[in-house]
Amino acid sequence: MIPRPARPLLLLATIPALCATCPVRAELIPDPPPGIQYTIETDRDVYQLGENVLVSQKVVNPSQWDFTLRLNMTPGFDLWALRDGVKIWSTHIAFFLYGSAKTVGPGEMLQRDYVWDMRDYNGDIVLPGEYEMRSVIYGNGRDVSKTITIVPEPATFRIMLLTWGLLPGKRRSARGPRGQ
């Protein structure tokens, strides 16, 4: 049996030596050109518990040249809801690990619209508080976020105030009916 030549191994061993002086970047996807605008907008800043949150994710190209948004997975866009920095929900759970590209021409806008029903991954309604809505682009885009506030609906808020004795109302005595 004739042994295989070691030539390919030698070639592979010399490639790092040839590139020792080359600048190396950890990210293979190029950065977007300056001026590309990434925004996230919601229809309001404050919501009552249980209302839908309408969110728009936008990429605007104000330059005079085409810009190609290179996405390293499909779908390349996502929306996250975070509470205290922890992701509790996203529009997509599964992704395909192949890339795609979207070209945004001069003066054009790429827009994705989402609706969050204030439910977490388990399908449970979230608690009142502050939430970060994060627009995520998997590729050479830039993530942007906006904070929203969720308040209890009026009926729940009234019950909470009555329970704490902060609203006038009928209070039951712990002793039972009068005269006992």
Domain locations in the chain as residue ranges: 33-163
**Distance between the two ends of the chain, CA-based, in angstroms?**
107
Q: What per-residue confidence (pLDDT) applies to 70? A: 79
Q: What is the DSSP string of 90-154?
A: ES-S--BS--EEEEE-TT-EEEEEEEE-SB-TTSPBPPSEEEEEEEEESBSS--EEEEEEEE--H
Between these two residues, 20 and 167, which has the higher pLDDT value? 167
Q: What per-residue confidence (pLDDT) applies to 33? A: 60
Lowest mean pLDDT among 53-57, 75-79, 87-91, 142-146: 75-79
Lowest mean pLDDT among 36-40, 49-53, 74-78, 112-116: 74-78
Count CB atoms within 10 A of the CB of residue 44: 11
Architecture category of domain 33-163 in CATH: Sandwich (2.60)
63 pLDDT more than 70: yes
Entry pTM: 0.65
Q: Are strands 77-83 and 100-104 parallel, antiparallel or unpaired?
A: unpaired
Rounded to whole angstroms, how far apart are CA atoms 42 and 118?
Answer: 13
Q: Tokens representing 6?
A: 């070691």
85 pLDDT more than 50: yes
pLDDT above 70 covers what percent of the chain? 63
Of 112, 113, 114, 117, the closest CA to residue 47 belongs to: 117
pLDDT above 90 covers what percent of the chain? 38
173 pLDDT more than 60: no
